[in-house]
Structure 1
Amino acid sequence: MARPRKPTNVLELTGAFKKDPQRRRQDAESAGELTAPPPHINGAVLHAWNEIAQYAPRDVLTDSDRISLEIAANLLAQFRADPAEFPGAKLVRLEALLGKFGMTPADRSKVGGKKEAPKGNPFADL
C-alpha cells in the first residue's frame, strides 16, 4: 500500500518546498482555523475535544478536520470511561487519528513547525 500524501501545509512547515519548490502542489483550501466544538457534544466528549485541540501541534488542525476530531474525541472519551473493556480495534483507530493530528512522538517529528532564521552571522567572530 502506498504511503499517504502529506498535506501541503505540513510539507511547508517542514521546509520541503525550500529544497524542491517545483513540487509545490495545489491542495484544496481548508475551511480555516479550528473553531469552537459543535453544540451537540458535551460532557466527557467535549472535554476530550478541547484537550485534543489544545495539545495538537500548532497550525495542524483546521475546521476541515472537525469530523475526524469529533470521532477521536468520542473514542478518547469511551477509552477513558472504561479502558479495560475498550476494544482493540477502536484503540487502533484512536491511535491512527491522533497520529494523523501529529500527536505521537514519531508523527510530531514530521510536523516541524516554523523555524526561525538564525540571528546574525555565525562566522562573524572568526
Structure 2
Amino acid sequence: MARPRTPAKILEMRGSYKRNPSRRREEPDASGPLGDPPAYFSGAELAAWNDIASGAPRDVLTGSDRITVELAARLLANSRVNWADFTAAKLARLEAMLGKFGMSPADRSKVVGGGKRNGDNPFAQLLE
C-alpha cells in the first residue's frame, strides 16, 4: 500500500518548499462549522451524530465533512440498534472513518484541527 500524502502544511514546516519551490501546492480551505445534524435522522442516528461531533478533536470536523459524518453516524447507530447483525465489514469501515476523524488514541496524533494557525504558534517566526 502506498504511503499517505504528506499535508502541505507539514511540508512547509519542514522547509521542503525552500529547497524545491516548484513542488508547492495549495490545499483547499475546509473551514466552517460542521453544523446541525440532518433533519431526517432518527433518534439513534441523531445520538450517534452528536457523539461523533462531540467526541472528535476540536476543529477537526468541518462543513466539508458532513456527508462522511452522516455515513459514520448511520453506521454507528446501526451497530447500536442491531449489533448481532452488524457485519465485520461494516465495523471495519466504521473504525476507519472514526480513525480519520482522530477518534482513537493512535489517530488523534495524526489530525490537526483547522483552528491551528501560524499565529497561534509561538515558534512560527523561527520558520521564516
What range describes the TM-score normalised by the shorter chain of this pair?
0.7 to 0.9
CA distances 1:72-108 after superposition (whole Å, capped 9, x unpaired): 0000001111223210000000001001111111110
Q: Give the distance between the partners of 2:91 and 2:63, measured in 1 at CA.
A: 24
The match for 1:20 among 15, 23, 40 is: 15
* 112 and 33 in structure 1: CA distance in 2 versus 1, 3 angstrom threshold: closer
For 1:37, the equivalent position in structure 2 comes to 37
Q: Tell me which amino acid in the other structure corresponds to 1:58.
A: R
How many residue pairs were aligned?
113
> RMSD of aligned C-alpha atoms?
2.4
Residue aligned with 1:28, SS: coil
Alignment of 1:60-79 (within 5 A): 60-79=60-79
Q: TM-score with structure 2 length normalisation?
A: 0.74
Contact 2:101 2:111 in 1 (8 A): no
Q: Which moved more, 1:60-69 or 1:37-46?
A: 37-46
> Structure 2: 5+ residue runs without aligned partners?
18-22, 124-128
Identity between Structure 1 and Structure 2 (%): 56
Q: What residue number does 1:123 align with?
A: none
Q: CA deviation at 1:21?
A: 6.0
- Name the structure, 1 or 2, with higher relative contact order (CA <8 Å, separation 6+): 1
For residues 16 and 93 of structure 1, do their structure 2 counterparts lie closer, same or farther at Cα, with a shift above 3 Å needed?
same
Q: How does 1:61-100 map to 2 (within 5 A)?
A: 61-100=61-100
- TM-score calculated relative to the size of structure 1: 0.75
Write out the 4+ residue segments of structure 1 that deviate beyond 3 Å after TM superposition.
112-118
Q: Describe how 1:103-122 pairs up with structure 2 within 5 A.
A: 103-111=103-111, 114=116, 117=122
Query: Any stretches of 5+ residues in structure 1 without a counterpart?
Result: 119-126
Partner of 1:59: 59
Distance 1:7 1:73 in 2: 26
